[in-house]
Structures are given as C-alpha cells and as structure tokens.
C-alpha cells in the first residue's frame, strides 16, 4: 500500500466536491489501486487547515465540507510553502479559479509545488495556457508531472484518450465542442430562441456565469483545446497563439441559414497542422456541421471531442457530466494515474 500525500488548494465548488470525493473513495482507492490517498491539508483564503496535525480528518471520514467551514482550525500564520515542507512529497491539487489573463493564483502555486518536488493535478486553466513552456520545462527538470484532465473538459475524457487509447497512431486533427454554456445557447437558438433569450435562460439555470464573456467569446474553448493539444501532441501552444471567435452576434438569421442547408451550427475548437510536420495550430470559431458529423448530436451542456487518426479512423468521445463532481472525479483520476503501476 502506497501512502500519497494530498494538499488541496481552493475550497470553492470544485475543491469541496474533491474533498467529499476523497472521503467516499478512500477505501476503494486502497482496494483497487493500492493507493492510500491522505489529505494532509486544505488551503484557502481564510487560512490553512492542517488535517494530519489536528488529527481531525486523518482518514477522511469525519466532517462534511460544510462542517469544516465552521471549525476554528483555519490558520492564517502558515503558508502553503510551509504545508508543502511539512511532508515529503505528493500531489498538490489546484482548485483555484482560472484566470486567463494573469494565470494567478494557479501559476505561482504550480511553480511552488514543482520547486518543492510535488506533482500537480489542476482544475485551473490560466497558468497552463499562458506559460506552457516554463511549466513543462520545470516539471521535466524536476521529474514531476502536471496533470490537467480537470482543466481540459473535466469528466469528458480527452487527454487520456489521446495519450493512451490512441497511442501509436498519428493524430491528424482534433475537433471539440468543449464549452457547455455556448453549446447550450446554440442548442436553444436552434430550437427557436434568440441569442439574448438563450443567454438569459442559461444564466437563470446557473449554466452561464453572470459575466459570460470567457465562455461566449470562445476563450474557455480555446484554453481547453490548448491544454489537450499540449498534452496529447506535446505542443507548446499559448493562448496568444490562438485565433478565437465566439458566438456573440449570432442571430436567428444565421441559425435559419444553417437549418436551410441541413447543417448544424456549433462552437468548435479545432487543432490541426497546415501540412504534415508544420506547427500545430488551434482555431476557435463557429462551424457548420453535416448532420452525420460525429459531434453534430452533442446538444445542451454536453461536450465532445473527435480525434482523426491515420490508422484507427476517427474516434469520438462525448458525455461527462459538467459539474463540480465531474471535475473532482477528473482530479482523482489524474492522481491515480500518477501512481498506479
């Protein structure tokens, strides 16, 4: 049985879901994978809770994430760096919010973890799309890994499929519907709503953020496709390299035009080479899909990706629930994959 130290940073929706998931899967991870996943501490803005020294959540079976909030054990006097020093090594789980402009706080956090000899599993996109060179080099130098399934469409498997299930093939192109909010809006517009009605409905349902720009302007799709490409194709694409167009300005006329052509309008992230051997390029924008396209029937908040290969043909993956639990499950999968034989 291998004991794995886990430190969780960020205690919002995803961090809380990850905390609960670690508790419920604690025994199963031992039984199935021989991994004892020991949550050693949680860091958030209100302070740090040292779980091993408080003895309160040693085998994560006490307390719900809500009850943890009310404990007096959130310490302001120690830093994440202290917490990392306290244990040998393990996985830092980054559940901080994505910031596609500064990359923070994820960027500083990932740097710190790698410098201290910790692997990283992250649900946060900013650092990975702004500084792929620096972080890849640092991880390589230290012999550590940064796992990013949770940042790359979460419960929809993308990176594993490209790396493992398609090993030995040449991937020629990847296309993805990677953003649930825009896909929901386009699905509802195909059903007759106009853009503002569909956006408002998505906001009322909690699907779209109060400020939906990152999603509807295509940046979330771009970030996810970059993270997938940089892992699967070992490229080093940055957000500034990508041509991004979103769905703002789409109106009923455009939807009806698509319909009259018997095609389906989707927001697509596409990764391709202009010719074999030339650098990988990513574009995000609207695509008019034939009805038999493998992603044409991905509706509502669902997501999907298709890989075009030389020897296996095309492989499409769809589904994966778009919620904090799904993201937490992607983080857990990444931790297991770091350590399993």
Among 29, 75, 95, 287, contact with a copy of itself (rule: CB under 8 A): 29
Site string for a copy of itself, 209-248 (x = CB under 8 A): ----------------------------------------
Pairing of strands 243-244, 280-290: parallel
Q: Which of residues 276-295 bind a copy of itself (CB under 8 A)?
A: 292, 294
Site string for a copy of itself, 41-80 (x = CB under 8 A): ----------------------------------------
Strand-pairing partners, residue 267, are 286
* φ, ψ (nearest 5 deg) of residue 176: -140, 145
Taking the least distance from each CB to a copy of itself, the nearer of 32 and 252 is: 32
Residue with tokens 């953020």: 209
Selecting among 131, 224, 266, 333, the annotated active-site residue is: 224
Q: How far apart are CA 336 and CA 339, in angstroms?
A: 6
Give the DSSP H/E element, type plus range, for residue 126: helix 126-130
The three-state secondary structure class of 222 is: helix
Pairing of strands 47-50, 35-44: antiparallel
- Active-site residue, 224 included: yes
The answer to whether residue 336 forms part of the interface with a copy of itself (CB under 8 A) is yes
Q: How far apart are CA 195 and CA 200, in angstroms?
A: 8
Site string for a copy of itself, 144-183 (x = CB under 8 A): -----------xxx--xx--xxxxxxx-------------
From the list 26-34, 129-137, 191-199, 246-254, the region that binds a copy of itself by CB under 8 A is 26-34
For residue 253, the minimal CB distance to a copy of itself (Å) is: 27
Among 19, 26, 33, 195, contact with a copy of itself (rule: CB under 8 A): 33
Q: How far apart are CA 19 and CA 93, in angstroms?
A: 10
The answer to whether residue 108 forms part of the interface with a copy of itself (CB under 8 A) is no
Classify the phi-psi angles of 104: left when phi > 0, otherwise alpha if psi is within -120 to 50, otherwise beta: beta
Taking the least distance from each CB to a copy of itself, the nearer of 199 and 322 is: 322
Classify the phi-psi angles of 60: left when phi > 0, otherwise alpha if psi is within -120 to 50, otherwise beta: beta
The answer to whether residue 341 forms part of the interface with a copy of itself (CB under 8 A) is no
The three-state secondary structure class of 75 is: strand
The answer to whether residue 101 forms part of the interface with a copy of itself (CB under 8 A) is no
From the list 2-10, 48-56, 187-195, 319-327, the region that binds a copy of itself by CB under 8 A is 319-327
Task: Please give the structure tokens belonging to residue 11.
Answer: 């205690």
Classify the phi-psi angles of 64: left when phi > 0, otherwise alpha if psi is within -120 to 50, otherwise beta: beta
Contact positions vs a copy of itself (CB under 8 A): 21, 25, 28-29, 33, 155-157, 160-161, 164-170, 292, 294, 297, 299, 306, 309, 311-321, 325-326, 328-330, 332-333, 335-337, 340
Which residues form the catalytic set?
A: 224
């Amino acid at each position: 049985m291998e004991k794995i130290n886990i430190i969780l940073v960020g205690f919002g929706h995803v961090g809380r879901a990850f905390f609960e998931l670690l508790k419920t899967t604690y025994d199963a991870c031992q039984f199935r994978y021989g991994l004892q996943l020991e949550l050693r501490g949680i860091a958030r803005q209100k302070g740090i809770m040292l779980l091993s020294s408080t003895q309160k959540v040693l085998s994560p079976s006490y307390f719900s994430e809500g009850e943890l909030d009310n404990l007096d054990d959130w310490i302001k006097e120690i830093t994440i760096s202290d917490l990392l020093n306290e244990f040998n090594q393990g996985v830092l789980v980054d559940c901080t919010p994505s910031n596609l402009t500064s990359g923070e706080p994820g960027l500083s956090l990932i740097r710190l973890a790698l410098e201290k000899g910790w692997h990283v599993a992250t649900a946060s996109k900013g650092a990975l799309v702004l500084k792929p060179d620096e972080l890849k080099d640092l991880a390589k130098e230290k012999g550590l890994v940064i796992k990013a399934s949770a940042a790359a469409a979460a419960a929809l498997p993308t990176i594993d499929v490209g790396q493992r299930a398609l090993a030995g093939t040449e991937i020629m192109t990847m296309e993805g519907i990677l953003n649930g909010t825009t896909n929901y809006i386009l699905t509802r517009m195909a059903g007759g709503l106009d853009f503002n009605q569909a956006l408002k409905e998505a906001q009322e349902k909690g699907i779209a953020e109060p400020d939906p720009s990152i999603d509807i302007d295509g940046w979330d799709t771009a970030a996810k496709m970059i993270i997938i490409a940089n892992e699967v194709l070992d490229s080093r694409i940055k957000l500034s390299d990508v041509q991004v167009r979103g769905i703002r300005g789409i109106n009923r006329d455009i939807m009806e035009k698509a319909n009259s052509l018997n095609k389906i309008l989707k927001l697509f992230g596409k990764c391709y080479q202009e010719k074999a051997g030339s650098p990988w390029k990513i574009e995000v924008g609207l695509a008019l899909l034939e009805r038999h396209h493998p992603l044409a029937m991905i509706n509502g908040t669902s997501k999907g990706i298709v890989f075009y290969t030389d020897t296996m043909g095309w492989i499409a993956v769809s589904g994966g629930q778009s919620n904090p639990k799904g993201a937490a499950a992607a983080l857990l999968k990444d931790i297991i994959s770091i350590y399993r034989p």
